[in-house]
Amino acid sequence: MAENNPHILVVDDARDVRDPLIRYLQKNSFRATGAESAAAARKLLRTRSFDFVVLDVIMPGEDGLTFCRYLRENGEIPVLFLTGKTDEVDRIVGIELGADDYVVKPFNPRELIARIGAILRRVKALPPRLKASVPPRVQFDRWVLDSVRRELLDERGVGIPLSAGEFALLSVFVERPKVVLKREDLLDLTSGREALPFDRAIDNAIMRLRRKLEAHPRFPQIIKTVWGGGYVFAAEPVIL
Amino acid sequence: MAENNPHILVVDDARDVRDPLIRYLQKNSFRATGAESAAAARKLLRTRSFDFVVLDVIMPGEDGLTFCRYLRENGEIPVLFLTGKTDEVDRIVGIELGADDYVVKPFNPRELIARIGAILRRVKALPPRLKASVPPRVQFDRWVLDSVRRELLDERGVGIPLSAGEFALLSVFVERPKVVLKREDLLDLTSGREALPFDRAIDNAIMRLRRKLEAHPRFPQIIKTVWGGGYVFAAEPVIL
DNA sequence: CGAAGTTGACACATTTTGTTACAAAGTTAG
DNA sequence: CTAACTTTGTAACAAAATGTGTCAACTTCG
């Protein structure tokens, strides 16, 4: 897996905070993407992969604290709060919610970078047992995906080896069944890189996966093509 | 241990901090040894015994916080941080990581000695600690790894000798099952050295281990390759 | 010192992956 | 309905990463 730069999601309704911060993060060799609301952030999280969330506390609609709670219930992505209030209660509540740190606006961008870096190093060093883990075995169609052994098991339990790319792609699909995933999303989720113009890497990976997965690769039943859209995992995954 | 005096490991990249501190500790009837990086410290910890670690927070390569977490995962040796920043967050994070104390640079060496002494007295008063280390016998797949005799036992208890490198590598894997370990991590954990460009030492060690371990080394089931990632120990270790 | 065993460096084989090119399938304008 | 265009499938190739044999340097033990 390409060890790419950490991808940071900046959630703030104020464009005059969000956009300069994204540019600053990108100048400091992070990947950064913005969302102007919790709802927009949820949507991005559904299809793309992030390593870190920078979150404004006060936003129209769902506020940052609520959204942070949701993030904590659904994973362990690190969260850093941006807060306008120096109010002590806000800080404590933020940390109790599971935030990893907070910065009071107006902030020094260099300090923000330093704190993000510190948290990412800390998280990277965490023992794996604490990390949000993919279920070890998932069944779908006539297969079982074993994510420890990184292979497919057929009905009789015979293992079919998967390459790293095939395993990564299939894992992404199994975790997001019945969602149309664009090529750029798949590329981001599997190798963490941006698509080049005329990038056919995903098409090839799909084809190679179908050859192992599908009974009749020319008429795929599990990974379907959405013309002009991308691909969908059409089977029903069951966690074992 | 010939001497009963506590043995202190000083980890700091700055020689003009490290060396005077070591001399001062030795004058105060401690044994003291220096390391200029976390990697060097790991190597020393593997072969020598220490009672205390004095750790700089900011170092090139692996930083002190990350290294402290590693120490906490692998034992209960007391840690005191040296920090240049008076920043409150740094202090809290350091203590949360499991540090026993911290001292802000520039420090008064007498104060440092006093704090080390206090912590050692406190630790000594604790009930004899269970050494969080490799269990003497671990079973996985069709093998038992005997860490005392440093060899593999098959189902019938027949021993297969392991070389030092093979034993080190297998121990690292058994302690971290189901985690993809990069070549650089494996090199650090087994020999404590940095990888050279085009370093194939780990590949060789893996191959030699597979020949002893795997029923069909060409289709390994225990140590799997993750293309572009490293290797995973895919078996389930059971402590005996 | 010499013999046996261990380890890393190197060379070359093999596998995996991305890129390119072109064919096949789907869509749209007229 | 057909031609032009867009999008996807797939083979063939190239590039990158890994597997493995050989050999020399080094260790260990007597």
Instruction: Express each pLDDT in A130-165 by its tens digit.
Output: 455 567 899 999 999 999 999 999 999 888 999 999
Q: Are A147 and A62 in contact (CB under 8 A)?
A: no
Residues A192, B13: Cα–Cα separation, whole Å: 34
Task: Give B129's pLDDT tier (boundaries 50, 70, 90).
Answer: very low
For chain A positions 111-170, those within 8 Å of chain B (CB to CB) are: 115, 118, 121-122, 124-128, 148-150, 161, 163-165
Give yes or no for residue A240 having a pLDDT over 80.
Answer: yes
pLDDT of residue B61: 75
Give yes or no for residue A91 having a pLDDT over 70.
Answer: no
Which of A225-229, B103-107, B144-148 has the weakest average pLDDT? B103-107
pLDDT of residue B125: 47
Residue A11: name the closest of A57, A69, A47, A75 by CA: A57
Give yes or no for residue A234 having a pLDDT over 80.
Answer: yes
> Over pLDDT 90: what percentage of chain A?
52
Instruction: Express each pLDDT in B65-122 by its tens digit.
Output: 778 877 876 677 888 888 876 554 455 455 556 677 777 777 777 778 877 877 776 6
pLDDT of residue B23: 83
Please count the residues of chain B. 240
pLDDT of residue B143: 95
Torsion on CA atoms B212, B218, B221, B226, rounded to nearest 10: 110
Q: Are B113 and B101 in contact (CB under 8 A)?
A: no
Average pLDDT over residues B133-144: 83
Query: Greater confidence, A32 or A128?
Result: A32
Whether the CB of B65 is below 8 Å from some CB of chain A: the reply is: yes
Task: Give B134's pLDDT tier (boundaries 50, 70, 90).
Answer: low
Minimum Cα–Cα distance from B96: chain A residue? A122
Give yes or no for residue B151 having a pLDDT over 80.
Answer: yes
B236 touches strand C (CB under 7 A): no
pLDDT of residue A34: 94
Instruction: Express each pLDDT in A176-218 by its tens digit.
Output: 999 999 999 999 999 988 888 889 999 999 999 999 999 998 9
pLDDT of residue A226: 95
Task: Give B3's pLDDT tier (boundaries 50, 70, 90).
Answer: very low
**Which residues of chain A lie closer than 8 angstroms to B98, CB-CB?**
none
Round and report the angstrom distance from CA (B21) to C1' (D1): 90
Q: Are A40 and A67 in contact (CB under 8 A)?
A: no
Residues B191, B184: Cα–Cα separation, whole Å: 10
Please state, in angstroms and as integers, the Cα–Cα distance from residue B171 to each residue in A140, B134, B138, B182, B217, following that order.
35, 8, 10, 15, 19
Angle between helix A64-73 and A38-47 (nearest 10): 30
Count of Cβ atoms closer than 10 Å to residue B178 Cβ: 17
pLDDT of residue B4: 53
Instruction: Give the 3-state DSSP-derived string for B82-137, with helices as H, strands as E and coil as C.
Output: EECCCCHHHHHHHHHCCCCEEEECCCCHHHHHHHHHHHHHHHHHCCCCCCCCCCCE
Instruction: Express each pLDDT in B9-46 by its tens digit.
Output: 999 998 888 888 888 887 777 778 888 888 888 877 76
Q: Are B188 and B39 in contact (CB under 8 A)?
A: yes
pLDDT of residue A231: 97
Give yes or no for residue A228 having a pLDDT over 70.
Answer: yes
**Residue A211: half-sphere exposure toward Cβ, Cα within 13 Å:** 9
Contact B178 A150 (CB under 8 A): no
Give yes or no for residue B132 having a pLDDT over 60.
Answer: no
pLDDT of residue A169: 96
Strands A79-83 and A101-104: what pairing?
Answer: parallel
Instruction: Express each pLDDT in B207-240 by its tens digit.
Output: 999 999 999 999 999 999 999 999 999 999 988 8
pLDDT of residue A40: 94
Strands A52-56 and A7-11: what pairing?
Answer: parallel
pLDDT of residue A16: 93
Q: Looking at residue A181, what DSSP letter applies?
A: B
Amino acid letter, residue B98: G
pLDDT of residue B130: 35
pLDDT of residue B219: 92
Query: Greater confidence, A189 or A117?
Result: A189
**Which residues of chain A lie closer than 8 angstroms to B63, CB-CB?**
121
pLDDT of residue B38: 86
- Average pLDDT of chain A is 86
Q: Are A60 and A13 in contact (CB under 8 A)?
A: yes
Residues A99, A57: Cα–Cα separation, whole Å: 11
Residues A79, A205: Cα–Cα separation, whole Å: 33
From B70, B178, B229, residue closest to A148, measured CB to CB = B178
pLDDT of residue B128: 37
Give yes or no for residue B170 having a pLDDT over 70.
Answer: yes
A199 touches strand C (CB under 7 A): yes
